[in-house]
Amino acid sequence: MSSRRNFLSKAALTSALAATPLLNFGHEYEVAVDKAPKSSAPSDLKITDIKCGYIRNGHSLFVKIYTNQDIVGHGEGVDATPGTYHLVKMFGERIKGKSPLNVHRLFEDIRKSGFFEGAQSGMYVAVLTAVETALWDIAGKALGVPVYQLLGGKFRDTIRLYMDTALYQNRLPRPSDFAESALEAVKMGFNAVKFDLDQANDPNKYDKYNWTASPAELQRMYDQMAAARAAVGPNVDICADMHGRYDAITGEKIAKMLEPLNLMWLEEPIPAENADAYKKITSSTSTPICAGENHYLAYGFRPLLESGAVDIIMPDLQKAGGIGEGQRIANLANLYYVPFAPHMVASYLGAMASAHVCASVPNFMILEWQIYFHKDPMFKEIVNYDPSMIKNGQITLSEKPGIGVEINQEAMRKYATPNVPFFE
C-alpha cells in the first residue's frame, strides 16, 4: 500500500510539472536569488579610497569615501578648508583598509595622530569633520538605518529653521531693507530671521582697524533691527550677527541698546578666543549672547559653558568635528541647560547631516538656513535630495539609510574650484 501511495504521489507530481509552462520553471528560486544580499556582511566592510572636490573658491569641501561593497559615504566641510586637498588624502591613507563602521575609533585615530599637525582646531578639524560625516553616511547605509537612529534615536521629526537673509552690510542696506527682508522670510514660512550688523565700509567708522563702534554706527545697528521688529511684530524671532568684528565695550553697548527689541540672540559681538570677555558682555545685558561658530571640538566649548560665557551655543557641524562630535557638544551644553542652535552655511548635504544631530538631542533650539538656497540654482544642482526636504520653515528629517542627501558629482563639476583636483 505504501509503495502504491509513493507511486501515485510521484505520478501526480510528474503530471503537475508537465502541466506547468517551462517558462515558469525555477521562478521562485530566481526571485530568492534576486532578493539575497549581494554584498558581504557589514563586518567585512572595508574602506578602499577617499576622493574630494571643492567649490566656493575652496571654502566648501565635499568628500566621498569608497568601500569594498560599493557603499559610498558623502560628507562636507566648510570655511577652514581652502588648500586642504593633501590633508584629505593623508587622512584617507590613515583609514584605508579599516572598517568604516568604527566611526568614533577612526575619528580618534585621525585626531590623535595629528597632535603635532594642528588637530586641535582649524583646517585639520574642518577636514576631519567632512571625513567623519561620510563615515556616518556609510554606517547608516550598511546597516539600513538613518543616521539619527545610530545616534540613539530622535526627539523630533522636523527641525525648526531660521532664515539668514544674507543682507550683507557691504551693500549699505537701509532700515527699510531690513523690514522687507524680514517680511520676505515670513512669507516663505519662517518664523525666525537673522541679519548681519557688522559693516566694514560704514562711513561712520573711526578708521579701518578700530574695533570700537562710533555712536552713529550703534544707532545704525539699532535702527536696522528696530525696523525688522516693527515689520514682523512681536511673535517672530529676530537675531543679529556681528561676526566677531568689534571689541567688548561695543558688544556691551549694542546688547544693551537692543534689549527693548527682544532678540532671539546677539551673535559673536567679539572674536571667539576670549571666554572671559564674552562673560563680561553676557553678564551686562538681558539680550541673549550666542557664540560657537569659530570653536572646535567639545574641548573648545568647555570654557564657554563652564564659565557661563554665553547663553546659547552655535557650533558649525561642518567645521567643529562632525556628527558625533556635534552630539557630544550638544550633550555637554545640556548639562548647563544651554540651548543648542547650530550654525550652518553648507549645502543641503550639510543641512541634513546637521538635522540628524538636531533631532537626536533634547536641547536643540533652531538651525540656520540660507536665503541663497532659494535663489542660487547651484545649491539644487550639486546634490541629490528630496525636494520636500523643507516645508514651512522646517526640515523634514530623512528616513533614508545614511544621511539622505548625496553629492551630485557631475553637476558639481562646473562649480569646481579651479586648479584643484576634482574627485581624483
User: In the numeric block, which cell numbers belong to residue 56?
Assistant: 566656493
User: How do the pLDDT tens digits run along the chain, 424 residues long?
Assistant: 444 444 334 444 444 434 444 444 445 445 444 544 445 577 799 999 999 999 999 999 999 999 999 999 999 999 999 999 999 999 999 999 999 999 999 999 999 999 999 999 999 999 999 999 999 999 999 999 999 999 999 999 999 999 999 887 667 889 999 999 999 999 999 999 999 999 888 999 999 899 999 999 999 999 999 999 999 999 999 999 999 999 999 999 999 999 999 999 999 999 999 999 999 999 999 999 999 999 999 999 999 999 999 999 999 999 999 999 999 999 999 999 999 999 999 999 999 999 999 999 999 999 999 999 999 999 999 999 999 999 999 999 999 999 999 999 999 999 999 999 999 9
C-beta separation of 353 from 383 below 8 A:
no
Q: Residue by residue, what is the 3-state secondary structure of 222-287?
A: HHHHHHHHHHHCCCCEEEEECCCCCCHHHHHHHHHHCHHHCCCEEECCCCCCCHHHHHHHHHCCCC
CA–CA–CA angle 318, 320, 323 (5° rounding): 60
CA distance 65 to 102: 14
- In eight-state DSSP terms, residue 398 is P
Task: Check residue 170 and give its pLDDT.
Answer: 65
C-beta separation of 356 from 140 below 8 A:
no
Domains in the chain, CATH or no CATH each: 44-144 (3.30.390.10), 149-400 (3.20.20.120)
Kind of pairing, strands 158-164 and 192-196?
Answer: parallel
**Residue 334: in which H helix or E strand, if any?**
helix 323-334
C-beta separation of 283 from 248 below 8 A:
no
Q: Which of 136, 184, 195 is nearest to 360 (CA)?
A: 136
User: In the numeric block, which cell numbers belong to residue 245?
Assistant: 568684528
User: In the numeric block, which cell numbers belong to residue 349?
Assistant: 548635504
Task: Check residue 166 and give its pLDDT.
Answer: 83
| Dihedral sign computed on CA atoms, order 328, 332, 337, 341 | negative
Residues 6 or more apart whose Cβ sits within 8 Å of residue 388? 396
Q: Which of 162, 44, 130 is nearest to 318 (CA)?
A: 130
Task: Check residue 76 and give its pLDDT.
Answer: 98
C-beta separation of 309 from 343 below 8 A:
no
Backbone angles phi, psi at 367, to 5 degrees: -120, 145
